[in-house]
A and B are shown apart, each in its own frame.
Chain A
């Protein structure tokens, strides 16, 4: 079971697991539930340089498209191709079905606020 309180969140329904200068990014179970059955995932290329706040990833359901934003400036160091092959993993356990890992230029961004705690995020869902 993922410790959801150990994650950070964005108001765009992404979850972030920060480990040193690498952050793992996914979408929350709430976002997956809102999208419905997820049928297509497009991930960024490993090695891509991304800018905070830009769309780096798309998650499509039968009904709609969800865009996933880069939480910080950095370089994509890993991607989870399992979710490309089986997008329904995101509907199963969104907190295990991570999308990509980013080596951020400045890990201090995660100390300076702008991201949500679990309590702050669940308050946002309601």
Chain B
């Protein structure tokens, strides 16, 4: 597989980032310290390069109907500039990818896919949209993506608004899961109030040519507010605290939406049907494991792949993501467990490389930001 570099790669190198391979891309894992970057996002703001994400455009009079058929949710009835989280399912109900879809026009939708699934998502959308009057374009190579996340994200981005034209709303009035088109320095932007950290913030879709200048401009105006560049390591601990699933960990082709706690995303009785509908109508087999949160004491974290045991010593599940929570100061994890031990408060044991560490089933998310 070819390893690709972000359009912001040179900036990251100059900033001293260390890199990791993520979905076929060399992306910054950290600039200085995971913990510093994590705390900056919780307390002030962080700037993330997530240009590895895939962007697929569905365009045409029946684009909404095509997505209603292709995805688990109903997309045709969201408003222009609105966003929605959804799932692309296999015919057997397994999750091919989780997606955010922005309606950027009456007949235009922008589907944002995980980097590692970009090609699968594009191929499925092309095939599923074929009977409809619309076209599917993989525009991933023409779109860079910068996420500005944290309680100070709005005040930082507002400092750039004198240079931004064409907003349909002020940033203060831009609601969560809504977006606005814009122009910055003669480049088209899509500014979305979305994110993957559990904080307020924005995601900025921009052409690769303009991305370095936009990144630098945000970094400069944000420095006084405590903004730091943040890598994928901090992004992972932030999303884990916020109880957000990550494809390949909590989500996969062998997982049904209901197991992942994503039943609310599925519009089961959608007229016209959708791929995966029949399988979901049958439901998960009895005893299928379900996603839960786990909290533990001490500092020793259960991690992906670690086995879970019940009080009687029987195996009951497995961790999919785990870390010592930087914000909470104790270990947290997400795990798939037998339904019988999935109730909050249930005491389980994590096998941490031979030692059994007690852990308690805990409602997700672990962390919720304070109301503004």
Contacts and interface: CB of A to CB of B under 8 A. Distances in A.
B342 interface: no
Interface string B267-303: 0000000000000000000000000000000011101
Interface in A47-98: 58, 60-65, 91
A105 B323 CA distance: 38
Given A58-B353, A62-B35, A40 B236 contact: no
Contacts, number: 43
Contacts of B237: 62-63
- Report which residue of A39, A40, A61, A65 has the largest number of chain B beta carbons within 10 angstroms of its beta carbon: A39
Interface in A17-56: 33-34, 36-37, 39-40, 42
A63 B300 contact: no
Nearest to A58: B353
Nearest to B36: A37
A61 B29 CA distance: 13
Contacts of A64: 303
A37 to B, nearest CB: 4
B169 interface: no
Nearest to B301: A60
B299 A40 contact: yes
A63 B233 contact: yes
B34 A36 contact: yes
Contact of A65 (B30, B33, B299, B303): B303
Contact of B300 (A33, A34, A60, A61): A60
B326 interface: yes
B300 A37 contact: no
Interface string B64-80: 00000000000000000
B30 A40 contact: no
A62 B233 contact: yes
Interface residues of B, number: 19
Contacts of A42: 300
A36 B33 CA distance: 7
Contacts of B300: 40, 42, 60
Nearest to B331: A40
B324 interface: yes
Given A36-B30, A42-B300, A60 B324 contact: yes
B18 A62 contact: no
Nearest to B299: A40
Interface in B289-330: 299-301, 303, 323-324, 326
Nearest to A40: B299
Contacts of A62: 34-35, 38, 233, 237, 323-324, 326
Contacts of A60: 299-301, 324
Contacts of B34: 36-37, 61-63
A40 B324 contact: yes
A98 B33 CA distance: 21
A67 B108 CA distance: 51
A63 B236 contact: yes
- Report which residue of B18, B35, B237, B303 has the largest number of chain A beta carbons within 10 angstroms of its beta carbon: B35
A40 B324 CA distance: 9
Contacts of A65: 303, 353
Contacts of B236: 63
A78 to B, nearest CB: 23
Contacts of B38: 62
A13 B237 CA distance: 26
Contacts of B30: 36
Contact of B35 (A33, A34, A37, A58): A37
Contacts of A40: 299-301, 324
B324 A91 contact: no
Given A36-B233, A62-B233, A63-B34, 12 more contacts: A36-B29, A58-B353, A60-B299, A60-B300, A60-B301, A60-B324, A61-B34, A62-B35, A63-B29, A63-B236, A63-B237, A64-B303
8 contacts: A39-B299, A39-B324, A40-B299, A42-B300, A60-B300, A61-B34, A62-B38, A91-B33
The 9 closest A-B pairs by CB, nearest first: A37-B35, A40-B299, A37-B34, A62-B34, A36-B34, A39-B324, A63-B233, A37-B33, A62-B323
